[in-house]
Each structure stands twice: as structure tokens, then as C-alpha cells.
Chains A and B, each alone.
Chain A
């Protein structure tokens, strides 16, 4: 059984007991435990089931690389699936549940998949779900849905209870990894005076070194680490963050650091995760190495574990995964596990070493009474939910002539692979090291930064330096190199002297035994989480998936949440063998960030809830909100769609506003319309280029409606331009168009006509603008008193500055509704007061505020176009019958040349018309008009589309505008618009002006 040892456990505090639950069972652990170590201490070896076959799975690793021990953590608003038990720090009240089984972990219906496993080989899904086609909907899709997804999705009504944030950090040198190499590299770098940041994914400094042992400068390695940490802590130019993982390295020295602030103390004040957005001149990746599993039959049975993980559990947490342990290895390092376990009182039944000879550590093991079997291999591990027996055989064979030994845990070591992820994310290349059978960074081909030079240096085990002395030397060198590359002068120093037992060379073992038969290969796991076996990769190779990237996708090797940290090298070695090629020729799949999964919420940072995105508010926003506003997003603005009164539907409200504005008095908050001041001796000339019509000839005091096209001729904006004085114009843009058009003007001024004397300023938000609209508009303003707003004093399409009541006001006599209308601009800080004054004074005139839908209907009744409705980026003024706004006098304006391109002048272009349904119904938004015949796909030919469609309460029927082929020549014809509701709408082509054709109402 797995159990807590009486002694050991450098990371746990035995005086502080912690209570937690697993699958509803209450258990005890200690402060400092991980969930995995605490579960092992409670003899809970089985922690989950695999994805495809639902096989029982125990923890196999002790850190970030863990593929099996995934649990659902927490409850309700804090529930999170797929959390690694090995990286989850234990706390009082932690609740955890295993995944991927039903009804429970011990007895799982889905485990029948394992009996089907020979029918579910690599590529099964691709082969199976192609035909017969009718099976898809009722057989295949339900089956896939049933088995899809790892872990349980949080309850749909739950909401993440925590907050998250970003932090922008800038440093000369970032060291990723706080193991012994990272610490030493950070010190070496910091001694140059450079600003150094050091991040470590776990809660502890020193990495593996204190577990693996050895001495540095004559003292035990853990003492050396302690000393180094306190030394760094006193350095002002060093920032150290534990629980902060280097998630990804990106272009130009950008790094994401994932800091877990309260995962180990949920509910504590402050954000749960902080995403560090770091810019570093140089990056040192001191990310260590990960031990590889060995591929033998039954290597996935709970109780089979990485040798290094097993000694981590003993040394760090005082837990042994078993009482009777067999160690299988191809290298000397695994002997450390045998020795440490033996010294902790665990029976080491055998060290099975695939090699013929081993180094001094083997001798040390023998002296402790451990039997070492050279040249041997594990033929098969037997047991279902726990290791029961191991069958041994010769490594050099097919797995016959077995000796069986009863045991309850197996430690395996297939050698070590440097963690090259951070090096590789941004393009660092790798070299294959034959002696250690691993890929390591090629220092000649680092990722390149903004200056074209390398900006990442690998250090220690991450660089392929394995013995302690090499690690320290390499780290010192890396720290100095990074500080030099960052522009500092390194203080060169000798690296501290590490000393450890010398090791004999490892021998690559990709399959155990070397010629294992198919029965064994079908039970030799490569990818534990996704259930990919040696036989699957071999099948993929046979079926022609020769590229490692294809094999990966065909077999799903390395596609699980652990991204193949344990499986990739073993898998591609099997692939290389199957292809009769060499490992470096087969190459690796691409390393992509993040290194391990990070929370989506940390990526979002503060952008959630209230601040998910900016919501721009006018000065009268709160009033609208209190008065029934049904909001409509327009860009980032919120505008009132309609003011809904109690008991009204939105539709009712719109109809009421539409009628009231035509009959009495309406108020519209028009503050969102863009306002750009354009000033200078060349401002007129400039605006003549910006607008299709002539603006330079506009008289001071007058307004003109203008169109803007892009250089390729399409309409991009419209609005009323007012001439303020000889040198100054004020240009209104569409709502949400202010920044875009401001940018558009600046672009031309800065990059094309930079010698023209023009300045532009965006004054949109300086003003609250209110449209006072309807037959009573003048009456309410006259009641407030102030400037003369009579027809004579302020004619249509003119503006004046003056006072209305107490308010400084610029009054524009313009109309987007066809009614008598004033647009009144007052300082934004007085917008609400002005609105209140109008509301109060307007009572006797039947005032009602109206929203954007009413605005749209009123303008559609008048046949006025709307940018974004009648235009969609492919529409030119000619399509909309706006020829009158295209100056013929001007030699040039943006879009003019484009309008003479052949297809712009094509008479076949769809043109704007009015549409009136024959039965008064409303054509659905976005409907297309169909004509004679069908196209190549058998679909009805299209001859046009609706651009705006509304119910007009004033006219008592549906009205619409649309673009129709030869439209203006087809007045009175009926066209057909099939709806998605199965009905077909018939509409008559009419003039787009439905209401007050002569414009008498606005000219009073």
C-alpha cells in the first residue's frame, strides 16, 4: 500500500494537519502536501481513469508533467475540472473528485471501452465515422458527444467567484525556473547590475536538487540552495516570484508568467491569478528536465511511477507509493530512488537494469542489499487497479522466459529530457544528443529578438547539463552570457563546485523488452491520458502517417492536457524505428505555449463582468437608464433603442415614439455623433478631398450634408459639416465613427499631404447634443428663451451660437427625420441639466424622449440612408442615388478615381429603391430578393436585398429600402423575398421617400 512514512518529508509540516475530501471521503494530510502526496498517504493510488478506454490510472509523476491524476477541484462557483493533483497544494477544506468515470471511480461502466480497445485503434474515429452517412446523426454523434470532453464542465449557472489581473513587468533578464540552475544563473546575471526577475512554478526554490543530493563547495546541496536564495533575496536588483510559471515565450522578449496567488488559500483577499506580461531583454530558461517513462506492457497500471517522482514523494512529503517496489531503468539515476526508498525502510525487490553494466550508484545499492539484475526488463505488469505482480524477462528478447514477482509499485526511468519548451516557443532550434538520448537547445540557433540576436539562453538541465557540477557551471555561464547580451558587463566568477557520484552512460531503451511481441506492444502505453500505445504509433507509420505531426494527430499522441511531456520522445523514437529512420530526422512536434494549461480567466485578466469591455456613456446615460432605456450597443457606445414604459413592449414603445415625434415633440440624445474640428489655411482644400461634395465653398454659418468614400470608392461615413469661421469647419461623423474618421483624416494629413496646413481635433465628447424634433420643437425652445430660432433667424441647414435658457448652446437647424428639428450642442458637463430643462419645458408640448429605433424609422420614412444599413463596405454613392452629392467640379477627391473603374460604373449594380409589401407586413431583416432561374448550386438567383426594414406606425404598414438590380427602372414591379420563416414576402418597388415627399414639414 502507499502510506505516510514515519520520517522524512522536507516540505510538510507534521504539526499542521489538514482535512480534505476525495470523492466525498474525508482524508487527512499535512500542510505542505500536494493533493497527490496526501492521496498517496491515504493509500489512494488510483486517482482517475484514462480518456479513451477509461482504464484505472494512478499518479505517475510528481509535478507539472502529470498526465493521469487530474481531478475536479472545489465546488459551485469555484469548481474547476482537470486540475493536476501533483501541482495542487493541499489546504483545509479542499474538495476533490476524480474524473472520467460513471457511476464511480472503482466501478466504471465506460471501462467496457477497454475490452473494445482492439476495436478502437489509432485513427478509429477517422475510419469509423465516415459511413454510412445516415448513422451520423443517431449513432455516431451521440456516441462522440457521450465520450467527448475530459472532466466535468462547471455548472452552467455557476460564475467564477474570483478576480484576476494582469501586470506589466519590465526587466533586463528574466530567469524562468527557480531550481539550482535558475538560482545560480540569476545570481550570475544580477552581479552585473542588471535588473533580474526570477520565476518558479512551484512554491519552493531549488527544484530537484535537494532531492537528488550531492554537495556544492563541500556543503550539502540543500544548504547551498538556502544560502543562494537568501543571497538573492537581499539583492535590490532581483525580483523573485514563486508559484509563478513561465507559460510562454513570444517575439521580442515577451513572456507570459502565470502566478497562482490564492489557489492554495481560496477565498483569500485579492486576485486568484495574475498574468505577468513581461518584457525582458534576455531570457534564461532554467526549466530543468523531465524523466521519461519506459514502454513496457502494463506501464499504466496504478502503482507504476517515474523513479524520480517516487523519490520526490519519499523525500519531499514522507510518503512511499508502495511497500514492495521494483525499479526498472536504463540509467544510473534510478538507483538513487532505490537507495532512498531502501533507506526509508521500503523493500526494494529488484532493480531491473536494461544495460549490461551500471555505475557506482549500482554498487552502493548492492551494498544496501538491493538485488540488481543487469540486462533484464519488465515483460509485463499485472494488476487492474493496482500493481500486483511484475513479470521479468531479458531486455534482449521478445518477452519470454519470465520470472514473476509480487510487488505493489514499480519505479521506471527511461532517461531525462530537458524541458526545451520555453526555448522552442519562439523558434529556438534543437540538437539530438546521442549519449543522453534527448533533444537539447542548439546554442547556435536561438530564438531571435528585435535586434536580430538571440534573446534566450538555456541553463542547467534544460540545456542538457545533467551532473550537478555541469549544471552549476552551465548556469553560471548562462547568467553571465545573458547579462552580457543585455548590455551589462558580467562579473566573471568560477561556478560553485558541485560534486556527486559519477554516473555510467545511459542506454536508450524505447521498448521493453527490445523485441516485445504485439500482445505486449498493445499494452505498452506511450501517452497515458489519451491512451496511445506503442502499437498505435506503429500502425500509424504502417498506414503512411510518416510525418511526426501527422502521427500525432492520427494517434492523438501528445494531444492531451499534458501535451506529451512524458510521451513525445518515446513516441517519436517508436515512430523513427517503425520508419527505419533516426530520431533527429523524424524531429519533434511544435512546442506551443502555454507550458501547462493556464486559466482562461487569467488571460482575460480584469476584463470580466462590469469591465468586460468599455461601455461608453453619454452625459445623460444614467437618466436614460432610469427612464426605461432598452439599450442598443453602437460601437462601444450604449444608445437607447427605445424608452419602454411600464406595461409596454419594446415594439409598443417604438411605435409610440414614432407617432409622438411626428405629431408632438421628441428628444433624442445625439451626443454620440462624432464632432471633428478641422482648422487651417488648407482646411477647405483638405475637406474637398475628404468629402465627395464641395466643402470649401460652404458659407460661414451654414451646414452641408457630406459623404465620405474610401480611396477605393466605397462609402465609409456621412454627416453634416458646418463652417465655423474662415479657417474652421466642424464635421459630424456617424456614431462610433468619430475615432475612425479622425484617424482617417490624420492618416491622409500625416502620410500624404503633410505639407498642407491643417489641424484636426476630436471634440466629440466636449458636447452633449440633443435633437429637439417635431412640430412643437420651436415652441419648447422659445419657451426656454434665449436666441432667436425663428425660420428667418435660423433657416434650415444653418447654425448659430447663442443661449437657450441659461445654456451656452450651438444650435444646428438640421433634420434627420423630416420634421422641424434643431440639434443643440451644450457643454457635456451641463448635458443632463439641459436635458432636464427640455423635458420639463416640453411637458405641455407632449415631449417624449425617443431612441435609435424611432430615429431609424423616421429617417427610413424619409428615404434617408444610414451608414451601416444601406452601406456595408461594398456600396458606392451611385448605388444609393446620391449622384447629387458627388462634385463634378472637383478634380479629385478620395474615391473619385475608383468610381470610374469599370465595375463601379456597371449598370448591373444593385440600386436603392423603396419597398412596400403588398400585404403591409414587414420584410425580414437581411432578406434577399430572388429572380428567375437558378445558379450553379441550384439556388434561386438573387437580384437584390433588403437594407432597412421597419414597421411604420405613421403609415400603418411595413416599409423597407433595398438594393435591387435595375431597381429604379422597375418602379411598381413586385419582387419576392423568401424569409427564413418559410414564408415569402412580396413587395412593390417604390420611391424610397414614403413620407412628406416635398419636405414641407422640416421647412416651417
Chain B
């Protein structure tokens, strides 16, 4: 059972306080978007063995959404950060690079 640090309230919360919210950093496509873009936005998700970026909500807690960077294989957590960003902060990217040199995920690396 995972523990993630909620960057908003600072609590090391165990999984029973959290709700998983799927992949992070999705770009929303709305009316006017192509069928392909909209389809990919709705359905196409990364499923890596390794570095992954996810959304979590501190549901039984402060109620805030946050992002987590972690390894789906070893469950190592590289860091958690604000949900109100378009890409992982440099600090998080550096932490991943230190442990998983050469990692890539969607357009990030």
C-alpha cells in the first residue's frame, strides 16, 4: 500500500486516504477538435513499466488534487507536486534522471 506526500497539506498519506485519478498532464480537447485528437484525449493512456506521472486526490484529507511521479515497476516515488502545472517541474525531472537516466514519458524527458 503506497504512501504519497500531499504537497498541499504536507501529510504522508497512505493509500486509503487517497483516490487515484489516472494519468497526469492530459491536454483537454473540446468542441472543434479533430476526431483523432478527441479520441486520444478520452482514451489513449500511457501504460509504462517504469516512470509514470499520475493524478491523485487527497480525498480523505485536504481534498486537493496533486501529481505524483513514480515507478510503476518498483513503486519508487520520485516526488509529488502541484496539479496546477502543465509539465513536471524541473526538480521532479532531475530527481527522476538521477534514478532513471535517459527516461522519457510522452513529450517529457
Which A residues form the contact surface with B (CB < 8 A)? 250-254, 279, 448-452, 711-712, 743, 746-747, 750-752, 754, 891-892, 896-898, 900-902
By beta carbon, the residue of chain B nearest A448 is B74
Q: Which 4 A-B residue pairs are closest in the complex by CB-CB distance?
A: A452-B76, A754-B84, A750-B65, A254-B1
Chain A residues in 8 Å Cβ range of B63: 746
Per the bound structure, the CA–CA distance linking A65 and B19 in Å amounts to 39
Per the bound structure, the CA–CA distance linking A426 and B21 in Å amounts to 25
Per the bound structure, the CA–CA distance linking A649 and B3 in Å amounts to 52
Q: A743-B57, A746-B65 are in contact. Are A892 and B30 (CB under 8 A)?
A: yes
Per the bound structure, the CA–CA distance linking A450 and B71 in Å amounts to 9
Task: Tally chain B residues at the interface, Cβ within 8 Å.
Answer: 30
A745, chain B: closest CB distance, angstroms: 11
Determine which of A747, A752, A892 lies in contact with B57 in the assembled complex, contact meaning CB atoms within 8 Å: A747
Q: A448-B75, A751-B65 are in contact. Are A892 and B31 (CB under 8 A)?
A: yes
Determine which of A279, A452, A750, A897 lies in contact with B29 in the assembled complex, contact meaning CB atoms within 8 Å: A897
A751 and B1 form a contact (CB under 8 A): no
The answer, yes or no, to whether B14 is at the interface (CB within 8 Å) is yes
B76, chain A: closest CB distance, angstroms: 4
A752 and B28 form a contact (CB under 8 A): yes
Chain B residues in 8 Å Cβ range of A892: 30-31
Chain A residues in 8 Å Cβ range of B65: 746-747, 750-751
B42, chain A: closest CB distance, angstroms: 5
A451 and B76 form a contact (CB under 8 A): yes
B75, chain A: closest CB distance, angstroms: 5
| B81-109 interface with A by 8 A CB criterion | 83-84, 99
Per the bound structure, the CA–CA distance linking A900 and B59 in Å amounts to 33
By beta carbon, the residue of chain A nearest B4 is A450
By beta carbon, the residue of chain A nearest B85 is A754
B76 and A450 form a contact (CB under 8 A): yes
Chain A residues in 8 Å Cβ range of B28: 711, 752
B29, chain A: closest CB distance, angstroms: 7
A711 and B3 form a contact (CB under 8 A): no
Assuming A252-B2, A279-B3, A892-B31, what are 15 further A-B pairs, CB within 8 angstroms?
A250-B1, A252-B75, A450-B3, A711-B42, A712-B42, A743-B19, A746-B65, A747-B57, A751-B55, A751-B84, A752-B28, A897-B29, A897-B30, A897-B38, A898-B42
A743, chain B: closest CB distance, angstroms: 7
Q: A251-B1, A450-B75 are in contact. Are A747 and B21 (CB under 8 A)?
A: yes
A693, chain B: closest CB distance, angstroms: 16
Per the bound structure, the CA–CA distance linking A900 and B31 in Å amounts to 9
Chain A residues in 8 Å Cβ range of B57: 743, 747
A901 and B38 form a contact (CB under 8 A): yes
By beta carbon, the residue of chain B nearest A453 is B76
B66, chain A: closest CB distance, angstroms: 9
Determine which of A448, A451, A751, A897 lies in contact with B31 in the assembled complex, contact meaning CB atoms within 8 Å: A897
Which B residues form the contact surface with A (CB < 8 A)? 1-3, 14, 19, 21, 28-33, 35, 38-39, 42, 55, 57, 59, 63-65, 71, 74-77, 83-84, 99
B29, B33, B65, B99: residue with the most chain A Cβ atoms closer than 10 Å: B65
B35 and A901 form a contact (CB under 8 A): yes
By beta carbon, the residue of chain B nearest A452 is B76
Chain B residues in 8 Å Cβ range of A448: 74-76
Per the bound structure, the CA–CA distance linking A901 and B39 in Å amounts to 9
B2, B19, B30, B63: residue with the most chain A Cβ atoms closer than 10 Å: B30
B46, chain A: closest CB distance, angstroms: 17
By beta carbon, the residue of chain A nearest B100 is A452
Chain A residues in 8 Å Cβ range of B35: 901-902
Chain A residues in 8 Å Cβ range of B75: 251-252, 448, 450
B6, chain A: closest CB distance, angstroms: 13
B20, chain A: closest CB distance, angstroms: 12
A880, chain B: closest CB distance, angstroms: 21
B29, B55, B74: residue with the most chain A Cβ atoms closer than 10 Å: B74
17 contacts between A and B (CB under 8 A): A251-B1, A279-B3, A451-B76, A711-B42, A743-B19, A743-B57, A746-B63, A750-B83, A751-B84, A752-B28, A891-B31, A892-B30, A896-B31, A897-B33, A898-B38, A898-B42, A901-B35
A750 and B1 form a contact (CB under 8 A): no
A893, chain B: closest CB distance, angstroms: 9
By beta carbon, the residue of chain B nearest A746 is B63
Chain A residues in 8 Å Cβ range of B2: 251-252, 450
A428, chain B: closest CB distance, angstroms: 13
B77 and A450 form a contact (CB under 8 A): yes
Determine which of A252, A743, A750, A900 lies in contact with B3 in the assembled complex, contact meaning CB atoms within 8 Å: A252
By beta carbon, the residue of chain B nearest A747 is B65
Chain B residues in 8 Å Cβ range of A752: 28
Per the bound structure, the CA–CA distance linking A747 and B19 in Å amounts to 12
By beta carbon, the residue of chain B nearest A427 is B74
Per the bound structure, the CA–CA distance linking A452 and B79 in Å amounts to 12
A876, chain B: closest CB distance, angstroms: 14
Per the bound structure, the CA–CA distance linking A901 and B28 in Å amounts to 16
Chain A residues in 8 Å Cβ range of B14: 254, 279
A252 and B42 form a contact (CB under 8 A): no
B45, chain A: closest CB distance, angstroms: 13
B35, chain A: closest CB distance, angstroms: 7
A220, chain B: closest CB distance, angstroms: 43
Chain A residues in 8 Å Cβ range of B77: 450-451
Per the bound structure, the CA–CA distance linking A251 and B4 in Å amounts to 12
Chain A residues in 8 Å Cβ range of B30: 892, 896-897
Per the bound structure, the CA–CA distance linking A896 and B32 in Å amounts to 10
A140, chain B: closest CB distance, angstroms: 41
B56, chain A: closest CB distance, angstroms: 11
Chain B residues in 8 Å Cβ range of A750: 64-65, 83-84
Per the bound structure, the CA–CA distance linking A729 and B105 in Å amounts to 41
A430, chain B: closest CB distance, angstroms: 18
Chain B residues in 8 Å Cβ range of A252: 1-3, 75
Per the bound structure, the CA–CA distance linking A751 and B25 in Å amounts to 9
By beta carbon, the residue of chain B nearest A254 is B1
B81, chain A: closest CB distance, angstroms: 13
A416, chain B: closest CB distance, angstroms: 31
Per the bound structure, the CA–CA distance linking A746 and B35 in Å amounts to 27
Chain B residues in 8 Å Cβ range of A449: 76
Chain B residues in 8 Å Cβ range of A251: 1-2, 75
By beta carbon, the residue of chain A nearest B19 is A743
Per the bound structure, the CA–CA distance linking A901 and B99 in Å amounts to 42
Chain A residues in 8 Å Cβ range of B33: 897
Chain B residues in 8 Å Cβ range of A901: 35, 38-39
Chain B residues in 8 Å Cβ range of A452: 71, 74, 76, 99
Chain A residues in 8 Å Cβ range of B42: 711-712, 898
B99 and A751 form a contact (CB under 8 A): no
Per the bound structure, the CA–CA distance linking A279 and B14 in Å amounts to 9
Chain A residues in 8 Å Cβ range of B64: 750
Per the bound structure, the CA–CA distance linking A281 and B41 in Å amounts to 39
Per the bound structure, the CA–CA distance linking A250 and B29 in Å amounts to 39
Chain B residues in 8 Å Cβ range of A747: 21, 57, 65
Chain B residues in 8 Å Cβ range of A250: 1
B96, chain A: closest CB distance, angstroms: 11
A451, chain B: closest CB distance, angstroms: 7
Per the bound structure, the CA–CA distance linking A898 and B38 in Å amounts to 8
A33, chain B: closest CB distance, angstroms: 38
A74, chain B: closest CB distance, angstroms: 33
Per the bound structure, the CA–CA distance linking A253 and B3 in Å amounts to 9
A67, chain B: closest CB distance, angstroms: 31
Per the bound structure, the CA–CA distance linking A671 and B2 in Å amounts to 37
Per the bound structure, the CA–CA distance linking A898 and B29 in Å amounts to 10
